[in-house]
Structure 1
Amino acid sequence: MPRFKIIDMILLATIAAVFIWSAIQPRDYFTWVLEVSPAVVLLIVLILTYHRFSLTTLSYTVLTVLVLLMFIGGHYTYDDVPLFESIQKAGHFKRNDYDRFGHFIKGFAILPIREMILRLTGITSKFWTSTISLSFVMSIAALYEILEWLTAKIAGTPAKDFLGTQGDIWDSQWDMSLAFMGSILCLILFTRLHDRKMADSGLKPK
C-alpha cells in the first residue's frame, strides 16, 4: 500500500491544526457544527479513498484551501470574519463579504472534479471536460443553497448565522454566480498546470 506523500501529510496536518483552533470557543457552536460538517465529511472521504484514488497535490491544495475557509467561517460565522469586517468598515460596504469570497473560491473545486472526470470517464475533449465540470460545480452550488435554506427552515432562528444572507434577498443567486465565476477563472489559470501535474504524477485518463 503506498504511503502518504509528505506534502499531502503537511496539508492534512494544517487542516487538523486549523480545525482544532476553529473548535475552540467559536462564536456559536450550533453554527460551527453546520459550517464545518460538510468539510469534515469531505475529509473523511478523501482520507478513506487516498490509497485507491489519490489526486494530484494541486487538487489537494485547492481542497485544503476550501476546507480551511469553511473552518474559519465556522469559527467566526461568515458574517463576522475580522479581516473582511475591517475591509467592510474601510470601504463603507453594506456587508461582510467573506461569504461571497468563500463562494468564489469554492468555484476552484472544479479542479479536482475535472481530474476525476478525466481519469474515470475517458473523456479527453477540453470542451466537454470543462462543460461537465462546470455543470457539477453549479449543481453542487445549487444543492448547497437548497440545503442551507432547508436547514434554516427547520432550525429557525438558530440557523440565521448559517444562512448568512445579511439581508440580501439575492444572496443565493450571488453565491451561485460567484462559484461559476471562480470556476471559469480557475480553468483559465490552472488547466495547463493541472494537465502537467497529472502527467508528471503518471495519472493517466482511463
Structure 2
Amino acid sequence: MSRVSQHNEDASAAAWRVKHFRENRTLHIALVVFALFWLWMGYDPYRKFNWWLENLLTLLAAAGLIATGRWFVWSNTSYLLIIAFIALHTVGAHYSYNETPLDRWLNALFAFERNNYDRIVHCAFGLLIAYPVYELLRRVAGVRHGWSCVLVPCVILAFGAFYELIEMWVTFILDPERGALFLGSQGDPWDAHHDMEVALYGAIIAMLATALTRGKKHH
C-alpha cells in the first residue's frame, strides 16, 4: 500500500472515529454485556429448536464481523447499532417470536389480531443496520453522501428479501412440518411483504436522520 493511499485510509478512519479492537474499551464493554444477555436469553427458551435456528444467522454475523475485522473496522456507532439489532433478535428468538412480553402489552393495549414483535424487529433491521451499510458504502465503495442515502434503503430492501428466502430454505431443509411456526407468518399471506416493507421504512427514516445530522454539522 502506497503512503498516499495509507494516509487516505487513516484520514478516513479518523473521520469515522474508528478504533482498533484492542484499544476499543466501549466495544469491549458492549460485547461483554451482550454475551451475558445472550446467555440469559439462551436459558430455557420457548422452543429450543427454534432458538438454535434463529441464532444461526446471529452466529454467522458474529463470525463475519470477526473474520473481516483485520481488513475493515467499523465505527463504534455502527458496532453498537449492530449489537442493538442482534439483541432485539435474541429476545425474539428466546420466545420464538411468539408472545413476547412486549407483544402481550401491545395486544392488551391495542387489541391486535396478531403478535407484532417480529414486525418491530424487521423495522429495527432497517432502522439500525442502515447506518452501518451507509458507512460501508462511504468508506469502502467511496459512494458520495447523497447517493449513499439513496442506495442504502435499496440495499436494506434487498437484504430483507434475501432473509425471507433464507428463512424459507432453512425451514424446508430442516423442519418443513413446523415451518409455519418458525416463519412466524401467523396465517398472514402477506407476511413476507410486510416484513420487507417495514424494513424499508426503517431504512428511509435512518437515512433521513443521517442526512439531517450531516446537514447540521456543515452549518
- How much does 1:121 deviate? 1.4
Asked if residue 67 in structure 1 is aligned to residue 86 in structure 2, the reply is yes
Deviation at 1:91, TM superposition (A): 1.4
Cα deviation for residue 153 of structure 1 reads 2.9
- CA distance in structure 1 between the partners assigned to 2:216 and 2:180 by the alignment: 43
- Contact 2:137–2:143 (CA under 8 A) maintained in structure 1: yes
C-alpha distance in structure 1 between counterparts of 2:77 and 2:184, whole Å: 30
1:160 aligns with 2:180: yes
Residue identity matched to 1:188: L
Q: 1-side partners of 2:145 and 2:208: how far apart? A: 16
- What fraction of aligned residue pairs are identical, expressed as a percent? 28
Residue type of the alignment partner of 1:156 = P
The AA in structure 1 aligned to 2:155 is: F
Superimposed CA distance per residue, residues 149-179 of structure 1 (whole angstroms, 9 cap, x where no aligned partner): 2233332233333200111111000000000
Alpha-carbon separation, structure 2, partners of 1:47 and 1:4: 16
TM-score, normalised on structure 2? 0.82
Which of these two proteins has the greater Rg computed from alpha carbons? 2
In structure 2, do the counterparts of structure 1 residues 4 and 164 end up closer, same or farther at CA, with 3 Å as the change threshold? farther
Residue type at the aligned position of 1:140: F
Deviation at 1:124, TM superposition (A): 1.4
Is the contact made by 1:30 and 1:158 (CA closer than 8 Å) also made in structure 2?
no
- For the pair 1:91 / 2:110, whether they are aligned, the reply is yes
Query: In structure 2, which of residues 151, 156, 164 is the aligned counterpart of residue 137 of structure 1?
Result: 156
Question: What SS does the aligned partner of 2:46 have?
Answer: coil
Which structure 2 segments of 5+ residues have no match?
Answer: 1-19
Please name the residue that 2:52 is paired with: 33
Q: Are 1:78 and 1:161, in contact at CA under 8 Å, matched by a contact in 2?
A: no
User: Matched residues in 2 for 1:51 and 1:147: separation?
Assistant: 28
| Separation of aligned partners in 2, 1:64 and 1:2 | 15
Aligned length: 196
Q: Is the 8 A contact 2:55 2:90 kept in 1?
A: yes
Query: Which residue of structure 2 aligns with residue 54 of structure 1?
Result: 73
Q: Does 1:79 align with 2:98?
A: yes
Q: Residues 173 and 157 (structure 1 numbering): CA distance in 2 closer, same or farther, change over 3 Å?
A: same
Q: Are 1:145 and 1:172, in contact at CA under 8 Å, matched by a contact in 2?
A: yes
Task: For 1:11 and 1:46, locate their aligned partners in 2 and report how far apart those are by CA, in whole Å.
Answer: 15
C-alpha RMSD over aligned residues: 2.1
CA-CA distance at 1:193 after TM superposition? 4.5
Which residue is 2:43 aligned to?
A: 24
Q: Quick check: 186-195 or 176-185, which moved more?
A: 186-195
SS of 1:22's equivalent in the other structure is helix
